[in-house]
């Protein structure tokens, strides 16, 4: 049975600086945005799925495939602002920001994220995180996170955190932020009213704004059998992998 008041929003736009037009690139028989939307619908915890876009092409593709798309402003600099515009007027208790370039998204992970918000009604927001191997910790394309003993985020960085300089035994486990974030609806409004912060700008990570203003940011660790599509090389890899994906046959 679905939980009431949980809306997933998938922000998508054609003007990606690294890969223009990628939401509509085909992976198998479907555009990437449709893989993400349909996999999100498989979650047992989500009541409604919206695609938020400023591009008519994306709006038309989603609508023609039976989905719900919302046209938003083209002036948004961050996806959180686009998500917030898309849910205005809805009475959702929880809003989940789902990245539009994760065609192998696992709906079970969305259920885990939703559960963290349901089980703690005062929690303002929660982030999916996943372990990464040591050799990926130096990549500035990945936002790493360190957490306290209760699973609350202490810091997000594009650098390797914790430090690699101390040769610990065993070596530390590194985690990355997946960019899939659940907001209590009331906190989403508050978050957008908060002034941007120095560490948010330095790390180019929205969640640092919440931490610097003193809000609790919970993390939900999951396995990481999926990957985002940032380049054409990633797209080719996704095409090869999709044919063997166990979920693909259930929604195409």
Domains of the chain: 1-105+227-245 (3.90.550.10), 106-225 (3.90.550.10)
CB atoms within 10 A of CB 250: 10
pLDDT in tens, 191-250: 999 999 999 999 999 999 999 999 999 999 998 756 788 888 889 999 999 988 989 989
Instruction: Tell me which of 8 and 90 has the higher pLDDT.
Output: 8
CB 235 within 8 A of CB 227: no
Q: Looking at the whole model, is its pTM more than 0.85?
A: yes
The SS3 call for residue 138 is coil
- Strand ranges, E, within the chain: 6-12, 26-27, 30-31, 48-53, 69-71, 94-97, 125-132, 144-147, 153-157, 174-184, 217-221
């Amino acid at each position: 049975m679905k939980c009431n008041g949980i809306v997933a929003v998938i922000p998508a736009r054609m003007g990606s600086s690294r890969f223009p037009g990628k939401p509509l690139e085909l992976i198998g028989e479907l555009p990437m945005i449709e893989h993400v939307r349909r996999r999100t619908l498989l979650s047992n915890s989500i009541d409604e799925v919206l695609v938020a876009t400023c591009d008519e092409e994306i709006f038309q593709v989603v609508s023609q495939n039976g989905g719900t798309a919302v046209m938003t402003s083209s002036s948004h600099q961050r996806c959180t602002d686009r998500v917030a515009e898309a849910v205005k007027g809805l009475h959702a208790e929880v809003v989940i920001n789902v990245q539009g370039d994760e065609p192998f998204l696992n709906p079970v992970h969305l259920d885990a994220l939703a559960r963290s918000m349901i089980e703690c009604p005062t929690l303002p927001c929660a982030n999916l995180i996943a372990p990464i191997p040591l050799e990926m910790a130096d990549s500035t394309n990945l936002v790493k996170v360190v957490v306290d003993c209760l699973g609350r985020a202490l810091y997000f960085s594009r650098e390797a955190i914790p430090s690699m300089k101390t040769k610990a035994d065993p070596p530390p486990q590194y985690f990355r932020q997946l960019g899939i974030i659940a907001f209590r609806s009331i906190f989403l409004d508050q978050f957008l009213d908060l002034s941007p912060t120095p560490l948010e700008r330095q790390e180019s990570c929205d969640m640092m704004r919440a931490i610097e203003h003193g809000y609790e940011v919970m993390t939900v660790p999951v396995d990481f059998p999926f990957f985002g599509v940032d380049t054409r090389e990633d797209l080719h890899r996704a095409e090869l992998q999709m044919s063997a994906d166990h979920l693909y046959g259930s929604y195409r």
